Amino acid sequence: MTKRLILFGSLLLFAAIALWQLGGKASPKKDDGFTPTSEKHFVVLIASYNNAEYVQKNLASVYTQNYDNYRVIYVDDNSSDATFQKAEQEIARWEGQARTELIHNTKNVGALANMYNAVHSCSDNEIIVILDGDDFFAHERVLTILNENYADPKVWMTYGNYLDYPSYRQEAVLSRPIPALITEKNAFRNHAWASSHLRTFYAGLFKAIKIEDLFFRGRFFPMGCDVAIMLPMLEMAGHKARYINDVLYLYNRINTISDHKVNFKLQTQCGHEVQSKPVYNRLT
């Protein structure tokens, strides 16, 4: 019975993804001639807090990728539940120790501080793939699809398409390509938020963000860190940011400690503060 349920769930997921992609807008095509000749090196960065319930599915979605050239940085942000212990167990179960750096914070510092420290420990040419500790890759070809896109040297970062979990729908449709005119005018801060999961970027691009632009009231933004990092990188990358329409991510809607459920007011304040930060110039 368990095997039948797993099979049914997999079929449901692939059907949902297929229907979404048929009904959605087409992704910008990769430039002709950029067929991957090698595997880019990815770093899957997972910042996690009190996600014991989701550790198994989260890490399984990473270790079952049909792609080899990647490593994992898993940061447990001083969870009060068994997140760290379960992560240890799952990493061992998948024999992922050689490719995984497991960090156990002795003090809770927040998602953005964890991201900043982890990315700055990476080489500039490593490609960071952001996976929240309560979310999941949508299927086993996620890194393969990213590699196909990063074969184009004009791609410095990507944003993309996701489905909500467990409905396998996207309730609030946020995923769409940013209009070319917005990119040309460098007007990302005046445009509706669109650069959603899955978010990836070269570590070197992230490192060009000034640390003071990641601060709110004297410390790293406690919420809205996705907006805080993506806006400066979009401004610096310009047309080298690519939207991927393929569904690569499952966003967990049932986690009770998601930012918008914990403190929507603070999340909104952080968003306004990010918008008011200085606009970055385009890198060449």
pLDDT surpasses 50 at 127: yes
CB atoms within 10 A of CB 164: 16
Q: What tens digit of pLDDT does each residue of 149-158 get?
A: 999 999 999 9
- The residue-averaged pLDDT of 162-191 equals 92
The predicted pLDDT at position 268 comes to 82
Q: Would you say residue 260 has pLDDT above 50? A: no
- The mean pLDDT of 152-174, rounded to a whole number, is 92
Q: What's the pLDDT band for 35 if we cut at 50, 70, 90? A: confident
* Per-residue model confidence (pLDDT) at position 24: 41
Span 126-141, mean pLDDT?
99
Backbone angles phi, psi at 17, to 5 degrees: -65, -45
Is CATH 3.90.550.10 correct for 2-275?
Answer: yes
What mean pLDDT do residues 25-54 have?
79
> Could you tell me which residue, 270 or 86, shows the higher pLDDT?
86
Tens of pLDDT, residue by residue over 4-29, are 444 445 544 554 554 444 344 434 44
Type of residue found at 185? K
Is the pLDDT assigned to residue 52 strictly greater than 90?
yes
CB 271 within 8 A of CB 224: yes
Helices 111-120 & 225-237 angle (0-180, nearest 10): 40
> Does 179 have pLDDT greater than 70?
yes
In this structure, are residues 243 and 177 in contact, taking their beta carbons and an 8 Å threshold?
yes
Q: Kindly state the greatest CA–CA separation across the chain.
A: 57
Residue 122's pLDDT is: 99
Nearest to 155 by CA among 248, 280, 44, 28: 28
With a cut of 80, say whether residue 1 has pLDDT above it: no
Per residue in 95-118, pLDDT (tens digit) is 999 999 999 999 999 999 999 999
Tokens coding 135: 């979310």
Q: Buried b / exposed e across 256-268, counting CB within 10 Å, b at 16+?
A: eeebeeeeeeebe
Residue 57 pLDDT greater than 90, yes or no: yes
Domain ranges of the chain: 2-275
The predicted structure's pLDDT at residue 254 = 93
Q: Would you state the pLDDT for residue 264?
A: 77
Average pLDDT, the chain: 89
Rounded to an integer, the average pLDDT of 76-85 is 98
